[in-house]
Structure 1
Amino acid sequence: MEAQEYIESGILELYVYGLLTEKENLEIAELAKNNKDVDQEIIAIEKAIVALSSSFAPFHSVENFEKIKARLELKHGKVVELKPTSNWTQYVGWAAAVLLLLGFGYQTLELTKTKQAISTVGSEKNKIQREYAFLDQQNKQTEKNLSIVRDIKNTGVTLGGQAVSPTSFAKVYWNKQTKTTYIDAAGLPTPPKGMVYQVWSLKLSPVLTPTSIGLLDNFEGNSQKIFAVSQTDSAEAFGITLEPAGGSPTPTMEQLYTLGKV
């Protein structure tokens, strides 16, 4: 192989990096000893590596850097500047490629972090929106309940606890003009599974006549325990009994929880 072929083949770069076999190293060393162009090319490669090592130290070991630098200073004195060679753009291209890869990796990492942050923010936003919707619904229900309690047209009827549950109590809000009726059941215990509270409007004379005006369904799901029941035309009293799920055609008097006269 001619000297110029060695220079253009890239084998001299491998020689400088110490990647050749012992036989190949001896061959290149002998050639450099006898061929000034080859020797100068090797020196140019070593200078380029020293310069690149100074700028991009993370990509070259300290050991290689010091070896090459010591060799150059031993041969030529302190390394100050580089002599341009035909292969300089090749080394700059290597460095640029490495930097590009590192930059791409960094951007990919940052993009991943950004996507994760956006996803987290989106999840938090959805959670906040759900909580806001729930609170807004609760607030509207509270305002409605307050309007029921504060409406001076509503007749309030207090229902006291009876023998089966002396501590129970409830309140009826009845508008005699519109006939709308609401039950505040906050004083009733949670009904057993398979049971439901049933509300009755009562006529006391000439005989006791009960009329069912509704069930207090979804008792546990109603946090404020105010229930709308059927319109009531007339009533002399109201009572609440505990009945099997679905209600009963007549009240079970042994399970009369609350009772109150209008």
Structure 2
Amino acid sequence: MRLLAKIGLSFTLLSALAAPGTTSVFAAGDELKPVIGLNCDVSGDKPRELTVQSTYVDAITMAGGIPVLLPPMSEDDLKAILPTIDGVCMIGGADYPPASYGQKPHQSVSVMAHERSDFDLSLVRNALAEKNLAFLGICAGSQALNIASGGTLTQDIPSQKKSKIMHASPQGWQKGFNKHDVTFVKDSHLGQALGLVPVSEPTSHHQCVETPGQDLKVTATTQDGLIEGIEMPDRPFVVGVQFHPERSYDRNQALFNDFISAARKHREARKPKISL
């Protein structure tokens, strides 16, 4: 489902949240719902389409957050918006340019629109600069976290890793989903939320983290050792997953609950700064 109508709503909500001297619905009362920014996919000819699949929006809403969309924008505008939100959830998509992590492109690479890739990497860097902002990267969002932190990717698992595990539909990663087991590390956000017994998770990707970026720890893998989860242990909640927890919400509800809980704590910490 494409949520084009959400774009206008998001601007309205964020404007109300950020405008000095206004009373925001997010600022009313003691039980505050955290505001979660979602990046958008960019596609089509002019006018471009900005889209987010409803599964991401639904997962955040069901866990108790308020999702708002963050379309590509200038870095100045991004820096103005980020102090008004409590968490960032980055969605899946096509491939980031290999040049962004110092490599030449493999023949299988299908690069996303440059408006999105440029904005996404800026979003990660600026989100990490916001103290204690909760962050959850899903699929391409996890890869963006790694790239922006100085890490690298395996550009094509089937040809470069020879993995026997199907990480996407048999027809290809752009054609649909598959499921495979993921094992989580003890004493990690993923391990605490999802358990230590291997779990079958929805997946659709042909790339993965190769070398983790600065301050990132591997906290989930497949049976043949490919990286499926990364975290920053020294942050309250900075997590990236290569699989798609939003497509199996009941199984992964605890992960979204923990993400929203961390965002709520961030909101409480900044509450005195909100103008009523």
Which TM bucket (shorter chain)? Answer: under 0.3
Taking structure 1 as the reference length, the TM-score comes to 0.19
Q: More helix by proportion, 1 or 2?
A: 1
State which structure, 1 or 2, has the greater radius of gyration over its C-alpha atoms. 1
- Larger RCO: 1 or 2 (CA < 8 Å, sep 6+): 2
